[in-house]
Amino acid sequence: MIIDQLAGLASYVGNTYFISFLAGLSFVLIKKHDFSGLIYLLFFTMIYNTLLKPIFALPLPKTCPGTGYGFPSGHMNFNAVFFLWIFTTFKNRIIKIFSVLLLATIGWSIVYKGFHFARDVLLTPIFSCLFIFIYKKFIANQSSSRAFLIVNIVSSILIFCLYFVKKTIPEHIFIAYYLIIGFGLSKLFLEILKQKTGFRTIIFQIVTTILVILSMIIVLKINNENIILYHVFNKIHWLFIGISISFFKYLLLLKENKAIP
């Protein structure tokens, strides 16, 4: 049926990997807007969404093949952050309408396929809007170092809370955490390459790097004594994927002989 094909297409567009790819591509290629906050929020969403699920403890529909709780919907939250960020960033009316329509279609497909109740899909974007507002209002105007430090500290705290709630940390949390750290560290180091970076700024960036690495080690150790070796060898590639996002933009700007933003 056509409606099934439409739902399948919407699910493909709303796939987490595909949305992540679009966010990274936007950061690298679009110079007029800074998409750093979008990348931070996408992966930060994976962390706080997992923590919220057992707090609300709302069940999934019986038609869902997965297990666990249904609200807030991680799939919907991830997509809402992406498309609502696009909606609030661009002034073009066509882009705004297209973003809303795509998000609505993806939300519909999630319900149509029986993965979530309509309640989960309709209410989840409240969290997306809230964190986009907080980031753009209080963090976006900070330096790259401070923004990265804030996101890292809050993420680390939430992971600690998640461990005390669930007594374990799911692997996708470490994927998100590695991506945040890799992306933030690469932006931080590339910023040092600016010609007019002051000595105090460099010191702050070095201190930020040390604090981030220490927080990562502490987070990796809280699960069990073997957690460092396991996750370093099993998920470390996500750290380098995060690093590569900023690196590709740096190469592009270097080729055009422009300053690093």
Give the lowest-confidence range in 78-87, 97-106, 214-223. Answer: 214-223
The residue ranges of every structural domain in the chain are: 1-141, 143-261
For residues 132 and 87, the answer to whether their CB atoms sit within 8 Å is no
Give the lowest-confidence range in 66-75, 96-105, 137-146, 194-203. Answer: 194-203
Q: Which amino acid, 117?
A: F
Cβ neighbours of 144 (radius 10 Å): 18
pLDDT at 261: 45
For residues 81 and 41, the answer to whether their CB atoms sit within 8 Å is yes
Instruction: Please state, in angstroms and rounded to a whole number, the distance separating the CA atoms of residues 233 and 226.
Output: 11
Of residues 28 and 80, more confidently modeled: 80
Q: Is the pLDDT of residue 259 over 80?
A: no
- List of residues 6+ apart from 90 with CB closer than 8 A: 33, 96
Q: Is the pLDDT of residue 136 over 80?
A: yes
Per residue in 235-253, pLDDT tens?
555 555 665 666 566 656 5
Per residue in 50-78, pLDDT tens?
888 888 888 878 787 777 787 888 888 98
Q: Please, what is the average pLDDT of the chain?
A: 75
For residues 174 and 231, the answer to whether their CB atoms sit within 8 Å is yes
Task: Give whole-number Cα distances, 10 to 110, 118, 193, 208, 217, in Å.
Answer: 9, 16, 41, 40, 38
Phi and psi (nearest 5°) for 139?
A: -115, -35
Residues belonging to the chain: 261
For residues 206 and 191, the answer to whether their CB atoms sit within 8 Å is no
Six-digit token pair at 210? Answer: 């040390």
Displacement of CA 12 from its chain's centroid (Å): 18
3-state helix, strand, coil in the chain (%, to 5): 75, 0, 20
Per residue in 193-209, pLDDT tens?
655 555 555 555 555 55
For residues 177 and 216, the answer to whether their CB atoms sit within 8 Å is yes
The DSSP letter of residue 60 is: P
Maximum distance among all alpha carbons in the chain? 63
pLDDT at 225: 44
pLDDT at 204: 52
Query: Sign of the C-alpha dihedral, residues 200, 39, 90, 147?
Result: negative
* Run of H or E including 208: helix 199-221
Instruction: Please state, in angstroms and rounded to a whole number, the distance separating the CA atoms of residues 156 and 211.
Output: 11
Q: Which amino acid, 130?
A: L
Q: Is the pLDDT of residue 1 over 80?
A: no
